[in-house]
Amino acid sequence: MVGKRKNPKEEKGTPNIISLNSKKSTFLYCTKASEDIGGLELQGGNNMTWKGNTSLTWDVDISSKGKFELYLIANVRKEGIGKILSFKTNTKVYNFELEQISGPYRGGRNFERVKLSSEIELNKGMQKLTLQTEGVTTEDILLDFRSVELLPTTAKKQVDKEYQRAVASRASVGWLKEAGYGLMFHWTSESVQPDGSIKKVTPKELKNSVESLP
C-alpha cells in the first residue's frame, strides 16, 4: 500500500472505532487502522512491512482519562535500528528510538513485545492515535509491524498476577531439557483472524484435536 488509504468501513460511512478497555490491554492492530500513509504492505499472518516515512492512524474511543503503558509488537530490522518512531495523541507526541530485536530468524520473523513507555496519558473522548516514522531518507523496510498495545496502569497488578498464576500452573519441563529433547510449535497465519486477533480454540475443537491423536 503506497499513498493514503482509508479503511473500507470508513469509506462506507462507518468509521472503524476501537473502544479502549480500562481493565485489560487494548491492541491497535495494523488491520484495524482507519488510515495509513506511506509504504505499508500486508503480509501473511496479518502483519505489515513498514518502509520509509509511514504512518498508521486509529480512531479510539476513550471512556475515561487514564495512564497506560505502551508496547510495540513488531520485528525491528537492522535498517530500522536507530530510527525514530513517534506515537501521537491529540495533545502530545512521544518519540522512541528503535532498537535491535533479538532472535534466531531472518526476514521479519522475530516478533517481540517491546516496551516503549511506562506511562502515557490519554484524555477522555474520541482521539486519533498515530504511529509514525519521519525523516527517513531511504525506502528500506524498517520493521515488520503487527500492533500497538495499550495497558492501563491501574490494571497492571491484575495482569501481572494472572501472568504469575499462569507460570505457576505450568508443568516442569526440566527433564525434557536434561534429556536433550526439544519441541517445535508451528505458528501459521491460520492461527490469526482476518481482523488481526488471535483465534480462540473452542472446547469442542480442542476435544476433537486430542481425540484424533494416535
Q: What pLDDT digit, counting tens, does each position of 162-177 carry? A: 878 887 887 777 777 7
C-alpha cell at 190: 491460520
C-alpha cell at 18: 476501537
Label residue 213 by pLDDT band (50, 70, 90).
low
CA distance 204 to 114: 35
Highest mean pLDDT of the ranges 20-24, 61-65, 208-212: 61-65
Beta bridge partners of 56: 36, 131
List of E strands, 141-195: 141-152
Q: How many CA atoms lie within 13 A of 147 on its CB side?
A: 18
Q: Which residue has the higher pLDDT, 117 or 204?
A: 117
| Single-letter code of the amino acid located at 144 | D
The domain 4-211 is placed in CATH, from the list 1.10.10.10, 3.40.630.30, 3.30.230.10, 2.60.120.260, at: 2.60.120.260
Q: How much is the average pLDDT of 23-37? A: 92
Q: Which residue has the higher pLDDT, 173 or 24?
A: 24
CA distance 168 to 21: 27
Question: Rounded to two decimals, what is the model's pTM?
Answer: 0.72
